[in-house]
Every structure is written in structure tokens, then in C-alpha cells.
Amino acid sequence: MVKIVNGVVIGFALILLGVGGLWLDTMDLPEGSGEVPVEALPDYDYLPEMRELEAEGRLGEAEHLADWVLGGSSITNRDEVAAFREEVNRKRTSFWGRAKRAVNGFVVGDGTSIEELGGAVVSDFLLWGDIRDLAKQGYNKITGKETDPVVAALAAVGALTSVASFFVADPAEGAEVAADASLSFLKTLRKMGRLSSKFCDVIVKASRESVKAKSI
């Protein structure tokens, strides 16, 4: 019972950390943060590029581009750009919009916005993230799409240690439970491209041995 309570507390804390990231990108950058003022832009229609960014879910980039364009002095569609900028800002900063993106990131495990990435990170620390990634990698392999053996290996071991947390019978198994968070963190780093190829080879080999022996 104590183990389950501790797991719930840790999981709740991780969720709070992820949700906290939903509001990070609303902070205004200080003056002199590297923004280059634009005195004049050619009369070019940037709206297609902005709408493409919006369609891809990259709302922050779309809004940033709109601000950059509005800093010019020779564009003829300022009103359209300004209206687009206000609409994107509303979508980006609304509570329900943020919550929807966070849930989407939690479910699918990736995304382009900070909310989606935050939800994906939180899910990687839970059993759901491991099951989801195993299913995605299996589907990709069956359909001939590119797979990531590192993510698959870490997800397999992560699922093993998550299940072990409900059946802790000796100190050795308790160590497996404690290692689950570290495995999830490694999987997050892999998705971010922060692990070297050599280290990834070590991870895959060790993960396969762990799954085979059913021990971390």
C-alpha cells in the first residue's frame, strides 16, 4: 500500500510539472533579448506561411512571424495579418486550447507545441507511455515505416518495471521500480535526439538482456 501511495504522489508531482510548462511560453521576453527590429519589409504576403505554421500546430512560431511582419512599414495587408495574429494568440493562450494540446501530447507522445511536448514527457513516466510507444513501434514495423529500436527497447523495459511496481516481493525488485523513472527519462532524451549513437547501442543491448531475463 505504501508503494502504491508513493507512486501516486510521484505521478501527481510529474503531472504538475508538465502542466506547469503549459504557461511558460506566455512570459514576455525582456527587452534586448536578441530581437532584430525591422524598419521596412517588402510588400510580400506572408499569410500563407503563417497559416501553414498554424496548421502544423506551431502557433508560437506563427505568432512570432506575424509580429515580425507587423514590425515592417511597407506591407499592404497589415489588417489581415493583425487579425490573424490576434486569432492565433487567442488559440495559443486559451486554457482549453492549452489543455487540449497537452492531452493530445499525452495520448500520442509527440507534438510541436510546448503543451504537447509537456504532455508527452509526463506520459513517458507512466505505464501508458511505454504501452503506447510499443504499439506505435510495432505498427511502424508491420507497415514498413521507420522504427526506433532505442525507444522500443526502453519502452519494453519500462513496461516491465512499471508492472513490477505492483508486485514488489524483494529488495531487488524494488530496485527495478526505482529505475523506471530513469528509463523513462532516457526515452525522453532519445526522442529529443540527445543520446549518442554509441550509447544508444549500449541501451538496446542492455534492454534486450533485461527483457529476456525479466530483470533490470
pLDDT digits (tens, 9 = 90+) for 115-140: 888 898 888 888 899 999 999 999 99
Parent domain of 40: 36-93
For residue 4, tell me if it sits in a domain: no
Residue 6 belongs to some domain of the structure: no
Quote the pLDDT of residue 210. 81
User: How confident is the model over 45-82, as pLDDT tens digits?
Assistant: 889 999 999 998 899 999 999 999 998 767 888 899 99
Compute the distance between CA of residue 142 and CA of residue 79 in angstroms, rounded to an integer: 49
The contacts of residue 15 (CB under 8 Å, 6+ apart) are 122
Q: Which residues contact 127 (CB under 8 A, 6 or more apart)?
A: 158, 159, 162, 163
Verify that 210 and 154 share a domain, yes or no: yes
pLDDT digits (tens, 9 = 90+) for 144-202: 999 999 999 999 888 887 776 666 555 455 555 556 678 878 888 888 888 899 999 99
Total number of domains in the chain: 2
Same domain, 165 and 213: yes
Give domain status of residue 45, yes or no: yes
Does the pLDDT at position 11 exceed 60? Answer: no
Highest mean pLDDT among 41-45, 100-104, 164-168: 100-104
Query: At 216, is the pLDDT very low, low, confident or very high (cuts 50, 70, 90)?
Result: low
| Domain assignment present for 20 | no
Distance spanning both ends of the chain, measured CA to CA: 23
The total number of residues shown for the chain amounts to 216
Residue 98 domain-assigned (yes or no): no
Both 137 and 216 in a single domain?
yes
Within this chain, do residues 131 and 214 fall inside the same structural domain, yes or no? Answer: yes
- Report phi then psi at 37, rounded to 5: -65, 145
- CA–CA distance, 50 with 62 (Å, rounded to integer): 5
Q: What is the pLDDT of residue 175?
A: 57
Q: Which amino acid is at 18?
A: G
126 contacts: CB under 8 Å, gap ≥ 6: 11, 14, 162
Whether 166 maps to a domain, the answer reads yes
Residue bearing the bigger pLDDT, 207 or 23: 207
For residues 115 and 142, give the distance between their C-alpha atoms in angstroms, rounded to a whole number: 30
Identify whether residues 88 and 150 lie together within a single domain: no
CB-based contact 161:179 (threshold 8 Å): yes
Amino acid at 159: A
Q: Is residue 121 part of a domain?
A: no
Residues 152 and 82 in one domain: no
**For the whole prediction, is pTM greater than 0.85?**
no
